[in-house]
C-alpha cells in the first residue's frame, strides 16, 4: 500500500455549500469533490473529464487540518443584473451598472490571525487496484513536477501553494484496530466513530469539532450532479480528535512525525 501526501496553503479559502442559494456559506474543509478538482489542476486534466477516474471506487482521499481555522462573513459588492439588455443599442446596460450594486454575503475561511496566518491542509491519496494506473500518474506528477494549472482553495482569487510532497510506502503504514481511544488527525466518516472523548483539561476547546455532510462523488463525467455524500467528523484546529472507532485506521510513521488518519470515502 502507498499513500501520497501533499500540503496546500493559502491566505483564504471558500468551499461553497451547494445547497445555499441566497448566501454563499462555506464548508470548513475541502470536500472530496474539491480535492478531485485540486488533483485535476495539478495534472492538467480538462474540466469535468476526471469524475469517473477519481471516483471513490478507484481513488481514496483524506484531509487533515494543519492550522486553526475560523469563518467570517464578508460583503461582496456585485452588480445588480436583472436583464442582459442590448449593449449594441444602449450603454445603459445592467452590466454597466445601470441598476447599481447589491451587497452579497460571502463566508470566508481564514486563519485566526488573518494578517500573519494561512489556511493549511494536508491531503492524502491512495488507490484501489482499479485506480492503480491513475494513482501512478498522479504520483509521478506530484513528486516530480509543478502543477500544470494554478491551484486555489475554492475561488480562483484564493490562490494556493503546493508543498511538502511525500510518498509513504508499506514500511511507513500500518493498518490497525483497537478498542481504546486513539488520537486521529484527519477527517473521519461519522459512521465509524463510536465515541468522542474530551478530557476535563479540554473544556476550552470543545468548539473545535465539527460534523458536516460534504459532496463526495459526481454522477459521471460532465455531470456535476452529486452522487454520494460524505458525513464527516473533523477538527478545525491542528489538534487531533480523541475517538473510539469501530473499524480500522491507518498509522503513518514518518521521520518528522507519527500520526493516525482515515480516508473520507471508506
CA distance 187 to 253: 18
**Which residue shows C-alpha cell 445592467?**
94
Q: Tens digit of pLDDT per residue, the chain (266 long)?
A: 899 999 999 999 999 998 776 678 999 999 999 999 999 999 999 999 999 999 999 999 999 999 999 999 988 888 888 777 666 666 677 777 777 788 888 999 999 998 899 999 999 999 999 999 999 999 999 999 999 999 999 999 999 999 999 999 999 999 999 999 999 999 999 999 999 987 666 655 555 889 999 999 999 999 989 999 999 999 998 889 999 999 899 999 988 889 999 999 98
CA distance 143 to 145: 6
pLDDT at 101: 82
Sorted by where each starts, the structural domains of the chain and their CATH numbers stand as: 3-84+105-261 (3.30.70.2660)
Exposure of 44 in the CB half-sphere (CA atoms within 13 A): 7
pLDDT at 90: 65
Beta bridge partners of 196: 243
pLDDT at 255: 83
**Burial class of 197 by CB neighbour count within 10 A (0 to 12, 13 to 18, 19+):** exposed
pLDDT at 108: 96
pLDDT at 105: 87
pLDDT at 67: 93
Amino acid at each position: 500500500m502507498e499513500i501520497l501526501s501533499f500540503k496546500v496553503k493559502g491566505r483564504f479559502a471558500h468551499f461553497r455549500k451547494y445547497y445555499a442559494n441566497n448566501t454563499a456559506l462555506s464548508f470548513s474543509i475541502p470536500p472530496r469533490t474539491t480535492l478531485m478538482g485540486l488533483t485535476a489542476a495539478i495534472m492538467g486534466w480538462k474540466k469535468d473529464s476526471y469524475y469517473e477516474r477519481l471516483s471513490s471506487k478507484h481513488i481514496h482521499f483524506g484531509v487533515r487540518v494543519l492550522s486553526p481555522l475560523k469563518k467570517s462573513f464578508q460583503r461582496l459588492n456585485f452588480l445588480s443584473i436583472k436583464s442582459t439588455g442590448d449593449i449594441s443599442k444602449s450603454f445603459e446596460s445592467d452590466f454597466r451598472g445601470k441598476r447599481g450594486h447589491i451587497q452579497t454575503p460571502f463566508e470566508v475561511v481564514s486563519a485566526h490571525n488573518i494578517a500573519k496566518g494561512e489556511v493549511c491542509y494536508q491531503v492524502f491519496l491512495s488507490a484501489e487496484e482499479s485506480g492503480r494506473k491513475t494513482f501512478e500518474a498522479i504520483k509521478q506528477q506530484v513528486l516530480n513536477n509543478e502543477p500544470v494549472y494554478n491551484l486555489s482553495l475554492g475561488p480562483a482569487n484564493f490562490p494556493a501553494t503546493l508543498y511538502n510532497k511525500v510518498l509513504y510506502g508499506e514500511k511507513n503504514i500500518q493498518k490497525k484496530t483497537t478498542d481504546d481511544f486513539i488520537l486521529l488527525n484527519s477527517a473521519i466518516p461519522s459512521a465509524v466513530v463510536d465515541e468522542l472523548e474530551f478530557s476535563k483539561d479540554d473544556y476550552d476547546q470543545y468548539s473545535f469539532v465539527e460534523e458536516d455532510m460534504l459532496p463526495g462523488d459526481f454522477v459521471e463525467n460532465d455531470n456535476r450532479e452529486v452522487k454520494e455524500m460524505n458525513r464527516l467528523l473533523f477538527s478545525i484546529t491542528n489538534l487531533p480528535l480523541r475517538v473510539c472507532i469501530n473499524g480500522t485506521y491507518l498509522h503513518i510513521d514518518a521521520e518528522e512525525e507519527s500520526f493516525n488518519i482515515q480516508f473520507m470515502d471508506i
